[in-house]
Structure 1
Amino acid sequence: MRRAHTVEQVRSAEADLMARLPEGTLMQRAAAGLAATCARLLPRVYGSRVLVLAGSGDNGGDALYAAARLARRGARVSAVLLSPEKAHAAGLAALLAAGGRVTADQGEFERADLVLDGIVGIGGRGGLRPEAQPFAALPRRGRVVAVDVPSGVDPDTGEVPGVALRADVTVCFGTYKPGLLIDPGASYAGVLQLVGIGLELPPAPVAVLQHADAAALLPLPGAESDKYRRGVVGVAAGSARYPGAAVLAVAGALRGGAGAVRYAGTAAAEVVRRFPEALVTAGGPAEAGRVQAWVVGPGSGEGVRELLPEVLAADVPVLVDADGLAELARLGPDALAGRSAPTLLTPHTGEEARLLAGAEGGAPPAADGLAAARRATARRLAAAYRATVLLKGSTTVVAEPDGTVRVNPTGTSWLATAGSGDVLSGLAGSLMAAGLGPLDAGAVAAHLHGLAGRTAAAGAPAAALDVAEALPEAWRTVRSAGAGR
């Protein structure tokens, strides 16, 4: 599992470690790891052109010390000092002693085989300063390696409030930073490389599941399992206008690990025609029979006003999506106040805006602003409703009310298609029925859904049902990384 820590946590751990080490040791560890990564990226170090973009402070020092190591191996190293009077003195002296030089020629950016972005470190906020902005627009021949974080990207949130320098590789010291895992910041970070420097860190507030992590959470049947012991998920979705939403939610649920799917709603005929294994009723949720979790809202239309309170009254985990979220925004957080079982909300940013307005009053906040600060706003929504939130988008963020976050990067832009979210809801609801908590269910569902989207699309448009049909292959991919599970 990739774990990410905030700037405050990193700074505290660095201070504790530096108090026990000789002065400069931590920076030399970081520089050594950075230089080693750069050396691997170059076809050969000797004779290569390396340019350092050095800002003030320790980030610039890390870059200058690393460049000095490359210069000692024969690289032709130049440094642009963005704030010459504030350049790291010892790092600059090391570079000059190793044969490097200082330049003001921006054209060297275009000619370099490798550029080290040491402009702004994890302590910086806001976009690039005017003197550094031209480098973000210049053409490049070689790779750009960011030192700990691409300059202009907020390391805690992933926000890019102005101009930022896009990296091909970001070398992270000690731990990953949340802003490197969450869009838009993630799209600037390129490939992430972790360099250990000996930090002793607290539990990480942000994590990303790898295949093996997801495999360890997958609900698998045992020798004594039957369809009821594996869990039964109920789906209350669809309407006369949107029967397809019910079909798609059931499609995801059937592939989510539960032993059976009960459907309740007006699209019963369409559901059983497409999926004869589904257990259907044209009545309400109370007539469906016993379930271990409910999915409510996809395509439900105005009927959701009766469906949502009935489902929320059940003492089982509930996933609320689509029209269910619109109704919940109208009712506000009090609609969930009496629940003892978990609730998982699965909004996109537009639905998130309406839910926040329902909780906080006033007009809905701008969806663009919410999308740019995904971690912060998902946590805000989870705290407001005391529910787990799966915020859909280019990076899916799953947030708990206590602030714990899991991030999923497996998706593809081809998943931006009608009905894809219905499949995800059914899948996550089925995982909850099979016994996973809402955080795990949301994170595993997003992981599988993203992989299935990639498989279904393979570089071409894919429909939501294609994604559902690719879920078994996603399971097999994940299980193959799970040590024989």
Structure 2
Amino acid sequence: MRSAHTVEQVRAAEAGLMARLPPGTLMARAATGLAVAVADFLGTAYGRRVLLLVGSGDNGGDALYAGALLARRGARVEALLLAPAAHEGGVAALRAAGGRATRALDDLHPRADVLVDGIVGIGGKPGLRAEALAALAAYPGVPVVAVDVPSGVDVDTGETPEPHVQAALTVTFGTLKPAHLVDPAAHACGAVELVDIGLDLPPAGIEALQVDDLVRLLPRPGTYAHKYTRGVVGVRAGSATYPGAAVLSVAGASCGLVGMVRYVASTPDAEPVAAAVRQRFPEVVGDGRVQAWVVGPGGGEDAGAMLAAAVADGVPLVVDADALAHVHPGTLPAGSVLTPHAGELSAMLGVPRPEIEARGLAHARLAAETYGCVVLLKGRHTLVAHPGGRVRATTSGLPWLATAGAGDVLAGVLGALLAAGLDAFDAASVGSYLHGAAAAAASRGGPVVASDVAHEIPRLLRALDLGAGQSVS
């Protein structure tokens, strides 16, 4: 599990560690990790031109000491000091290593291979001052390596209300911060590299699953399992207008994580849809007892009736697509999951879509609290919010996953995980990670369609080492 801690948590951990270490040790660790990352980014330090953009805080000190290390490895390092006071020890170290430091933009070499953003650290406010914007504008197209976070983003919320740095790589220390996982700030980070500096940190409110977590959490059958003890998931999806949604939702549910999948057509007019599902998946059966329902994909005008029928069973639901318009706070069974994209969440909360996209973390948490359910807010980095405030971010997907029907497959996978016994928060975060990883594997660097993702999920599950972890009997 990768954890993202708030500025307050990081500051407290840093203070505790610095009290036990010789002065300057923490900055030396950070600077060394940064210098190595910059050299790796460039391929070599020798002969490369590195421009440090340096603010007044420890963030700028990290950049200056890293610049000194790079200069000793043969880089041509210059520093633009953007604040009246810069880290004196760092400036002295850079100059002693052969680097240059100046306060005048015109004094710099006109070419650079990389900019190192040490303008504002994690304690800074959103936005950039005019001199920082001018320095960035003077080197268009030059890649930026950000120190800790791209300057100008809101570290604790992931929001970017003001101008900010757009980094190709962000090197952060001790732990991730919310801005590294939550869009739009996460997009500004580019790739993120974490340098361990020895912080002792409390539990975090935002996490990101890794492969080891997936293996640990995925359900697997016990020695004496049978099809009913492994879980039965029901699917109420599709309509005469949108028959493919039913097939794709059942495809996701039929990934092998449960013992049985049931499909129920919404109306007699949709019976041809049920026939198409059975032809594609002969192992799928009709109505009966389930441990979880998937409701809504492609439901159209029938979505409200689908939702009412599923709610009556009193089992956890995955509510997706058209059914989301019929959900009201406090009306769903415990352990249910809502899966809106930004437009759907806009309607659910009565908030303009641009606001949802600009403040995804805040609105995902608000929706979870309002509806009393786990909310999976789809996006480049999908957010899974628990009503208690915990959040997991999914980083396993890729832009090609923005394709019709992908959400139908995801809903089916989530329903299977709920029926197999995972709680709503784990089911939503595991399912989202699995869905994104399957899309990446199916894509192989190119376009992907929803049915490709559904086919890839069982292959991905077989590739994982599932010999340990949760079992159901």
User: Structure 1 vs Structure 2: percent identity of aligned residues?
Assistant: 56
* DSSP-derived class of the 2:448 partner: coil
Asked whether the equivalents of residues 212 and 478 of structure 1 are also in contact (C-alpha less than 8 Å), the reply is no
TM-score with structure 1 setting the length: 0.89
Cα distance in structure 2, aligned partners of 1:244 and 1:60: 55
> Is the CA contact 2:376–2:385 (under 8 Å) kept in the aligned structure 1?
yes
Aligned counterparts, 1:121-136, within 5 A: 121-136=121-136
Give per-residue Cα distances to partners, 1:246-300, cap 9 Å, x unaligned: 11111110115011101112332222122211112xxxxxxx2111111111122
Counterpart AA for 2:100:
R
Structure 1 counterpart of 2:391, which letter? Answer: V
- Residues in 2 aligned to 1:421 and 1:82: alpha-carbon distance in whole angstroms: 46
Quote the residue 1:455 is aligned against. Answer: 441
Output the CA distance in 1 between the equivalents of 2:310 and 2:107.
64
SS at match of 2:131: coil
Residue 16 of structure 1: SS of its match in structure 2?
Answer: helix
1:437-456 to structure 2, matched below 5 A, reads 437-456=423-442
1:391-430 maps to which residues of 2 (within 5 A)?
A: 391-430=377-416
The AA in structure 2 aligned to 1:273 is Q
- SS at the partner of 1:86? coil
Rounded to whole Å, the distance in 1 between the matches of 2:448 and 2:49 is 44
| Structure-2 change in CA distance of 1:399 and 1:32 (3 Å) | same
Note if contact 1:230-1:434 (Cα within 8 Å) is conserved in structure 2. Answer: yes
Displacement of 1:459 after TM fit? Answer: 4.2
**Per the alignment, in what secondary structure is the counterpart of residue 279 of structure 1?**
coil
Tell me whether 1:278 sits opposite 2:284 in the alignment. Answer: yes
CA contact (8 A) 2:53 2:118 kept: yes
Q: Which residue of 1 is the match for residue 241 of structure 2? A: 241
Give the TM-score, by structure 2 length: 0.91
**Alignment of structure 1 residues 213-362 onto 2, 5 Å:** 213-255=213-255, 257-265=257-265, 266=270, 267-280=273-286, 288-328=287-327, 332-336=328-332, 339=333, 341-356=334-349
- Contact 1:257–1:434 (8 Å) recurs in 2: yes
User: For residues 344 and 149 of structure 1, do their structure 2 counterparts lie closer, same or farther at Cα, with a shift above 3 Å needed?
Assistant: same
Provide, for residues 116-173 of structure 1, a one-character-per-residue CA deviation record: whole Å limited to 9, x for no partner: 2101111112222221124444556765321101112222222222332222221111
**Residue type of the partner of 2:12?**
S
Aligned mates of 1:313, 1:86 — CA distance in 2: 66
In 2, Cα distance between equivalents of 1:376 and 1:478: 34
The CA deviation at 1:421 is 0.6
Q: For the Cα contact (< 8 Å) 1:31–1:65, is it kept in 2?
A: yes
Task: Please say which of residues 244-253 and 20-29 is displaced more in the overlay.
Answer: 20-29
Map 1:91-110 → 2, pairs under 5 A: 91-103=90-102, 104-105=104-105
3-state secondary structure, aligned to 1:334: coil
CA RMSD of aligned residues (A): 2.4
Question: Distance between the aligned counterparts of 2:213 and 2:135, measured in 1?
Answer: 39
Q: Residues 5-48 of structure 1: CA distance to partner in whole angstroms, max 9, x if unpaired? A: 11121112122223333443322332232223334444443443
Match of 1:89 in 2: 88
Aligned residues, how many? 463
Give the SS at the match of 1:326: helix
- The more displaced of 126-135 and 293-302 is 126-135
Matched AA of 1:192: V
**DSSP-derived class of the 2:425 partner:** helix
Please list the CA deviations of residues 398-453 of structure 1 after superposition, one character each: whole Å capped at 9, or x if unmatched: 11111111111111222222211111001110011111111111112111211222
Per the alignment, in what secondary structure is the counterpart of residue 170 of structure 2? strand
Contact 2:230 / 2:258 at 8 angstroms: preserved in 1? yes
In 2, Cα distance between equivalents of 1:194 and 1:6: 15
Cross-structure match for 1:369 = 355
Q: Would the alpha carbon gap of residues 246 and 171 (structure 1) be closer, same or farther in structure 2, given more than 3 Å must change?
A: same
SS in 1 for 2:8: helix
Residue number in structure 1 paired with 2:185: 185
Q: Is the 8 A contact 1:298 1:322 kept in 2?
A: yes
AA at the equivalent of 2:118? G
CA distance in 2, matches of 1:178, 1:106: 36
* Structure 2: 5+ residue stretches without partners: none
Where do 1:75-224 residues align within 5 Å? 75-83=75-83, 85-103=84-102, 104-105=104-105, 111-137=111-137, 143-224=143-224
> Which one-letter code corresponds to 1:315 in the other structure?
G
SS of the residue 2:171 aligns to:
strand
Within 2, Cα distance between the matches of 1:39 and 1:457? 31
SS of aligned partner of 1:411:
coil
Residue of 356, 359, 370 corresponding to 1:384: 370
Name the aligned partner's letter for residue 331 of structure 2.
A
CA deviation vs aligned residue, 1:78-114 (integer Å, no higher than 9, x gap): 100112x132223223222333212334695762233
